[in-house]
Structure 1
Amino acid sequence: MRNQLFIILAAVVLIFTACGKNKNSNNEEAGASDQLKLSREQIAHTNIAFGLPMEKNMSDEIPARGVVALPPDGQALVNSFSSGIVKRVFVHMGQKVSRGQVLAMLTGPELIMMQESYLKSVYTLEMLEKEYQRLQQLEGDNISSRKQIDQAKAAYLSEKAGAQSLRDRLRLQHINLEKLMSDGIQSEIPIISPIDGMINKINFSVGQILSPDQVLFEVLDLSRLVLKISVLERDIPHISVGQNVMFVASNLGDKPYPAKVVAIGGKVEETAKVVSVVLKPAEMPEKLLPGMFVAAMIRVDAHMAQCVPEASLIYDENNNSILFYTEDDPKKAAQVTFQHIKVEPGYRNNGFVEVRGLNQLPANANVVFDGGYYLYSELLKMRE
C-alpha cells in the first residue's frame, strides 16, 4: 500500500514539474516573439532611421480664422481742408511715402484770399495793440477815458482771436507762416502725407476742382498690419495676451508664420458666439495685404516635454500607440534587436509629438524615428 502511495505522489510531482517547464518555455517563446532581429544590411535596405528623444516646447492648439487688417493709426485719408484746383501731383499709386512728404500742390481763389485775410489781420492787430497800449499810458496821465480804453481793448482782443483762427486754418493747409510774412502770398499750397506708408488710392486728376471734404489720397502703413481673428466663446478662458500663434494667409501658400496675441475683445458677438482677438505678426510676410483671410493656431498650455517625430509612433490592431527601439548600436552591431513599448501620445506641434511613458526605455535605447510600420509588419509575420 505504501509503495502504491509513493508511486502516486511521485507521478503528481512529475506532472507539476513538467507543467512548470512548459509554462516557462511558453513565456520565453512569448518574450522572444516580441523581439525582431534584422541585420545591418536589412536596416540599410529599408531606410530605418534612429534617434534619441528630445525636449521641446509643446502646447495644445486652438484653431481660429480671421482677416488681415490695419489699425486706425495705420491708415490715413488725405484731403485739402478747403476748395481748390489740383495743379501738380508728385506721387503715383503704390509709391512709398514718408510722413510730411508733399504729395500734390493746390491753388485757387479761396486759398489766396485766406492768406490775404491773415496778412491784413496781422497788420491790423499790430496797429490795435499799439493803440491799446497808448491809451493805457494816457490813462496813467489822466488824459484818456476808461471807455476809450475798453473799446480799444475789445477791438484788439477781437482782432487777435480772428488772427489766431486764420493762423490755425493756414497751418492745417501746411502753409509756412514765416515764409508768408517774409515773401508774401503763396499761389500754391502743399498736400502733405500725415503718415509713413504707401499710396493706395488717388481720387482726382490734375486740373480737377476739389471740395474741402473730398478725399484726395489713401495712405496705408503696411508695417502696422494686424490679424483680427474670431475665437469661439468657449475657448476664450484659455487665451491670454502674449501667447504664441502660427498663422497661414490665403494666397501666400502653406508656410506658417509666427505671431503673438496683443489684444482680446471684451464682448461676445451674439449671433456667432465668438470674441475678436488681435494678433501682431512677429515677421511680416511679403505680399501680406489688408483683407486677406488667415487661419491661425493659438498655442495654449505650453510646457517642455519629451518628444519624437510623429513618424516614430505607429498604431497596432487595437489602436494602441507603439514605439520601437533598440539597445544595440545600429552603426556597429552586425545584428540589431528591436523591441517595442506602448506609450501615450500628447500634444503635436510642427511634426513632433509629445510622448508620455518614455521612462520605460533603457538609458541606452535608440528610438526608431522612421520605419516603425515595416518593423511591425515583420513582427506580425513572425508571430503567425
Structure 2
Amino acid sequence: MVAALALLASCGGKPDSASQAAATTPRNVTLTQAQLQHIRLYTVAASSYRKTVEASGVVDFDNDQATSVLAPFSGPVSRLLVEPGQKVARGQALALVDSPDFSTAVSTYGKALATARTARRVADADKDLVQHNGVSQREEQQAQTDAANAEADRDAAAQALASLGLDPKAIGAIQPGRPAARAQGAIRAPIAGTVVEKLISPGQLLQAGTTPAFTVANLSQVWVMAQVATSDLPSISVGDPAEVETGVGPNTLTGVVTNVAGLVNPDTRAVLTRVSVANPGEVLKKQMYVRVRISARQASTGLLVPVSAILRDDENLAFVYVAQADGSFARRHVTLGDRSGDQYVIPAGLQAGDRVVVDGGLFVQFMQSQ
C-alpha cells in the first residue's frame, strides 16, 4: 500500500518543462476564407537597405547667413526704421543715431577733400611751371608727393565714412565750405534677410562696436541641431540626406548633414549633428523642437519586414505572425535591428521565404486570444 501511494505521489508531481512550454505557447490561428480576405502577407527576402537614424533636434539660425548688427558709432538713437519680422535688403538703414563720431568723420572728410583739391591744383601748376623753369624740379616733385599724400588722406576719410554706414552717393554730396547736414549716422543691414531681433530703443545711448542693435538672419535656410546617439555614429556621415518633421501639419522638410561634432555631450552622451534644411514659408523657427531622420548613404543587406508587421506581447517583446504550411498562422518572436524608412531589419527570428502578416495582424492576435 505504501509503495502504491508513493508511486501515485510521484506521478502527481509538478509538470515537466515540455508541458509548461505547451501551456504557455499561444496556439496557431486558423482563419476562414472570408477572414483571409482581410489579411495581407509579405514574403521575407534579403534586401539592400539604408539605415535610418532617428533623433530629436532643435532649430537654429544658419550662422553662415545670420549676424548680430553692432552700432558702428556712439550716440543716442534718434529713430528706429524697422520692426522685428521685417525683411530688409543689404545696406538698408535700420536706425538713425545722433553721433558725434559721425559728425567728426564728416568734418574730417570735408577737410581732407579740400586739402586734396588744393594740393592737386598746386601740383598741376608746378608741373607746368617746371617746363618753363618757373620752379625747380625738386619743388615740382615735392608738390606731386604732397598731392598724392593728400588724396590718400581723402580716400581714407571717405572709407571711414563708408564704414560708418554712409552710402557713396551721400559721401559724394559732401563739399568743403558747405554747411553740414544734421550729423545722423545710419545703422545698416550688413546682409539681406529678416530682422529677427531689435535690441535698442529711441533715446538709448549706444557705444561704438560694443552695443548690439539688431539681429538679421536669412530664414530661407536654417540649421537643425540633432542629438545623435553614439551607437548610431558609424551609420551617418556628412552629406547624408535627412528629413525633418515639425509635428505641425503633414509636411516633411528635407535637408542634408553638414557637420558631425567631434565631441560628446557629457550630459546627454549624444553627439551634436548639424543638418542644413531649406525652410520654405519659414515654417521652422529658432528653438523649435523637431524630429530628424537621417538616411545613411552606405547600403547594407539584411532581412526586412514592414513596420506594420511588428506586434508586441504582454512583455513588450516584438513578434510577427508567420503563415504555416497547413494554412494557420504562428506567433514568432523576432529581434529588431536597424530601421530603414517604414521597414525593420530582422537579425534573428525569420528566414528568407517566410511569409508574415503585414496587414490584419491585430485581428489575428485577437482571434488567437479567444
How high is the TM-score relative to the length of structure 1?
0.67
Are 1:190 and 2:196 an aligned pair?
no
Contact 1:53 1:307 in 2 (8 A): no
Aligned residue in 1 for 2:154:
163
How do 1:72-83 and structure 2 match up within 5 A? 72-83=63-74
Contact 1:57 1:302 in 2 (8 A): yes
For 2:126, which of 135, 140, 144 is the aligned residue? 135
Percent of aligned pairs sharing the same letter = 22
Instruction: Determine the C-alpha separation between the residues in 2 that align with 1:66 and 1:132.
Output: 67
Instruction: Name whichever structure is richer in helix by fraction.
Output: 1
Contact 2:94 2:188 in 1 (8 A): yes
Instruction: Determine the C-alpha separation between the residues in 2 that align with 1:297 and 1:91.
Output: 38
Aligned residue in 2 for 1:125:
116
Contact 1:59 1:347 in 2 (8 A): no
Instruction: Determine the C-alpha separation between the residues in 1 that align with 2:172 and 2:282.
Output: 48
Bigger mean CA deviation after superposition, 96-105 or 292-301: 292-301
Instruction: Determine the C-alpha separation between the residues in 2 that align with 1:96 and 1:54.
Output: 54
Measured against aligned partners, the alpha-carbon deviations of 1:279-333 in whole angstroms (never above 9, x if no partner) come to 1125568653333455544333545877543333457999795444499xxxxxx
Aligned residue in 1 for 2:87:
96
Contact 1:180 1:186 in 2 (8 A): no
Contact 1:69 1:228 in 2 (8 A): yes
Aligned residue in 1 for 2:284:
288
How many angstroms does 1:121 deviate by? 1.8
Q: Which amino acid is the alignment partner of residue 220 of structure 1?
A: A
Q: Secondary structure at the residue paired with 2:263?
A: coil
Structure showing greater radius of gyration is: 1
Count of matched residue positions in the alignment of Structure 1 and Structure 2: 330
Bigger mean CA deviation after superposition, 315-324 or 71-80: 315-324
Measured against aligned partners, the alpha-carbon deviations of 1:187-215 in whole angstroms (never above 9, x if no partner) come to 34433212233223323332444332222
How do 1:1-384 and structure 2 match up within 5 A? 36-40=30-34, 42=35, 48-50=38-40, 58-62=49-53, 64-182=55-173, 185-187=180-182, 188-213=184-209, 214-231=211-228, 235-247=232-244, 258-265=254-261, 267-269=262-264, 271=266, 275-281=271-277, 288-294=284-290, 296-300=292-296, 301-302=298-299, 308-313=305-310, 321-325=319-323, 337-338=327-328, 347-354=338-345, 357-360=351-354, 368-372=357-361, 374-375=363-364
Contact 2:220 2:282 in 1 (8 A): no
In structure 1, the gaps of 5 or more residues are: 1-32, 328-335, 362-366
Instruction: Determine the C-alpha separation between the residues in 2 that align with 1:215 and 1:144.
Output: 56
Contact 1:245 1:299 in 2 (8 A): yes
Instruction: Determine the C-alpha separation between the residues in 2 that align with 1:286 and 1:97.
Output: 15
In structure 2, the gaps of 5 or more residues are: 1-26
Instruction: Determine the C-alpha separation between the residues in 1 that align with 2:167 and 2:312.
Output: 77
Measured against aligned partners, the alpha-carbon deviations of 1:135-192 in whole angstroms (never above 9, x if no partner) come to 2343344442344234323422331222111110111233234444447544344332
Contact 1:324 1:372 in 2 (8 A): no
Q: Which amino acid is the alignment partner of residue 117 of structure 2?
A: E
How high is the TM-score relative to the length of structure 2?
0.69
Q: Does the C-alpha gap of structure 1 residues 254 and 303 become closer, same or farther in structure 2, counting only changes over 3 Å?
A: farther
Instruction: Determine the C-alpha separation between the residues in 1 that align with 2:64 and 2:309.
Output: 49
